[in-house]
Amino acid sequence: MLVETLEGSVVREQAADQPFNPASAMKLATALDALRTFGPKHRFATTFWITGTFDKTTGTVTGDLVVSGRDPSFHDEHAVAVARELNQLGIKSVTGDLIVAPRFSMNLCIYFAKPPTDVCNRSSSNRGSIGTTTL
């Protein structure tokens, strides 16, 4: 570890020539870069859509449930929250497959139509949004 002043004077030094895993210290640089790149109001989006139909009376999706998105903070507990949200929206069963797009992760926008190109844009006329939540 090596700590220097802006002028280059050593404040503290311990095993400065030995490599180490910077762990959490790297998170600071990553967070700063993310804030500069995306801004503080940016939210990553995850989209769910079906390839078939949804029967509101039975809560059945006849077809596949597809998920895509790229939120680097997706964890197992988010999958549980998604299942709860889908149940609250009336989805009780899916007859097809759960298709997970490459590099999937989380922030939830749900559409029952073809994959949207502008994720979470509710004004598009080619799909019907049934719910949106941010985890």
Residue of 73, 74, 54, 51 whose CA lies nearest to 63: 51
For residue 51, is pLDDT > 60? Answer: yes
Q: Which residue has the tokens 């903070």?
A: 73
3 SS3 class: strand
Q: How far apart are CA 107 and CA 68, in angstroms?
A: 10
| Domain ranges for the chain | 2-38, 46-132
Look up the pTM and report it.
0.52
Instruction: Look at residue 116 in the predicted model and tell me its pLDDT.
Output: 46
**Lowest-pLDDT range, 31-35, 102-106, 131-135?**
131-135
pLDDT-derived band at 72, boundaries 50, 70, 90: confident
**Lowest-pLDDT range, 20-29, 43-52, 73-82, 111-120?**
111-120
pLDDT-derived band at 103, boundaries 50, 70, 90: low
pLDDT-derived band at 60, boundaries 50, 70, 90: very high
Average pLDDT of the chain is 75
What average pLDDT score do residues 6-14 get? 89
22 DSSP assignment: -
What is the percent of the chain where pLDDT is above 90? 27
88 SS3 class: helix
